[in-house]
């Protein structure tokens, strides 16, 4: 998950914003990462990622009041578990790079 958080932070210049902290130590973060892309609906990101056979989701995830307080309608959510490999994380990053590039051109 740390590798993915580093990647998301590196995409700030492209309008990618992490929701929450980038810190992973202790009890600072669970293995669920939410982010938004400025000017792009979260649903669009997920629909494009589906074409890469990567299962991520979008929505409010029972936190609509929190999202409203943050000025957000929905987020993209990526969930990791103990058996995700670094290779899978890299595949996710490569696909997301392609998706972000194609969405930026629209």
Model confidence pLDDT, tens digit, residues 45-104: 999 999 999 999 999 998 999 999 999 999 999 999 989 999 999 999 999 999 999 988
CB 101 within 8 A of CB 40: no
- What is the pTM assigned to this prediction? 0.90
The pLDDT-based confidence of 106 (bands split at 50, 70, 90) is low
Q: Is 25 a residue whose pLDDT tops 80?
A: no
Residue-range definition of the domain harbouring residue 85? 2-104
> What pLDDT score was predicted for residue 10?
93
Say how many domains are in the chain: 1
Q: What's the CATH number where 98 sits?
A: 3.90.1150.10
Phi, psi (rounded to 5 degrees) for 19: -100, 115
């Amino acid at each position: 998950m740390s590798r993915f958080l580093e990647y998301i932070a590196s995409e700030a210049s492209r309008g990618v914003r992490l929701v929450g902290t980038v810190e992973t130590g202790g009890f600072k973060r669970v293995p669920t990462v939410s982010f938004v892309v400025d000017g792009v609906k979260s649903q669009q990101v997920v629909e494009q990622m589906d074409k890469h056979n990567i299962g991520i989701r979008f929505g409010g995830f029972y936190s609509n009041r929190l999202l409203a307080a943050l000025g957000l309608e929905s987020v993209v959510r990526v969930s990791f578990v103990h058996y995700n490999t670094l290779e899978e994380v890299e595949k996710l990053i490569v696909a997301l790079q392609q998706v972000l590039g194609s969405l930026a051109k629209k």
